[in-house]
Amino acid sequence: MLKAHLDAVERHLLSISQIPANAGHTLHRGTPREAFIREFLQGHLSARLAVGTGEIIDAQSQPRQQRNQFDIVIYKNDYPRIDLGGGINAFLAESVVATIEVKSVLTAAEIDNAIGAASTAKRLQRNLITAFTSGYVPPGILSYVVAYDGPAQASTVHGWIKQSETTRGLNNAPLPQTRDQRAQHLSESLEGVFVLGKHSVLYDNSPLSLLSDATLAQNSTLQYSLLDQLEGNLLLLFLLLTQAGTNTTGQWADLIPYVAQVRMNPSFSV
């Protein structure tokens, strides 16, 4: 049932993506396609998660400092967001579960840009106080790319990822050898790329993996799973996001660092 439903949604997204295809400006083609993915997420993800767009800040972020704009930010809905106007928000790094960049046509340049933005987001300082956790808790901000079109083979996208990572010096260290250890390892670039109707490329740091411990024992250098498939790509994204957002935690943001450099002149009274 779940796969049949999400495969139908994947086909639907590809179909309605043709509606803005004849627009004369690239923004008028890309923005509706971002909205289609956003609406899908809002209609399918846990109520614990909210979906927005904008930038991510931490306690060290400065006014007017250059920051990446993310097409889709998935964040915990019990955290605040900073309304910048026009539907754009700034999100506390402590609240963000994942980011998604939406591309009409995936290219090597788009992959490199997405990896650069993901790497920057993952370096933000998250100040969290943890009392307890249960279930899978992502070790940081997860980063994904969803594209409506792209190369025919997953191996091409994988090659683009590796080229960008090599140039940027990312993900050089080998992944741990067991599933539990890998699940606590954050990619320094992307966790996954999904080209609807064609294929997926997944960094192997999720409990939902296609690689067993036995396979890893035989080849511990494996980092990515490549899936050439007409369907099932949206299902994988849904499962990964659902897994990341359905844990139980006694965890909250330490807000003191956000005001550590704020100068105040209080008066005191008894």
Is 52 within a domain?
A: yes
Number of domains, the chain? 1
Residues 6+ apart with CB under 8 A from 165: 115, 171, 172, 188, 189
Is 267 within a domain?
A: no
Residue 28's pLDDT is 65
Is 83 within a domain?
A: yes
| Cα–Cα dist 224/209, whole Å | 10
Residue 31's pLDDT is 86
Closest CA to 56 of 82, 79, 37: 82
Quote the crossing angle between the two packed helices 233-245 and 2-16, to the nearest 10°.
120
Is 264 within a domain?
A: no
Strand partners, 72: 100
154-202 confidence digits (pLDDT tens): 999 999 999 999 999 999 998 988 888 999 999 999 999 999 999 999 9
Determine contact, residues 76/46, Cβ cutoff 8 Å: no
Is 266 within a domain?
A: no
Residues of the domain holding 228: 2-259
Is 268 within a domain?
A: no
Is 12 within a domain?
A: yes
pLDDT in tens, the chain (270 residues): 999 999 999 999 999 998 888 777 776 678 888 999 999 999 999 999 999 999 999 999 999 999 999 999 999 999 999 999 999 999 999 999 999 999 999 999 999 999 999 999 999 999 999 999 999 999 999 999 999 999 999 999 999 999 999 999 999 998 988 888 999 999 999 999 999 999 999 999 999 888 877 888 788 788 999 999 999 999 999 999 999 998 989 999 999 999 988 887 888 877
Is 193 within a domain?
A: yes
- Tell me the chain's radius of gyration from C-alpha atoms: 19
Task: Read off the pTM.
Answer: 0.94
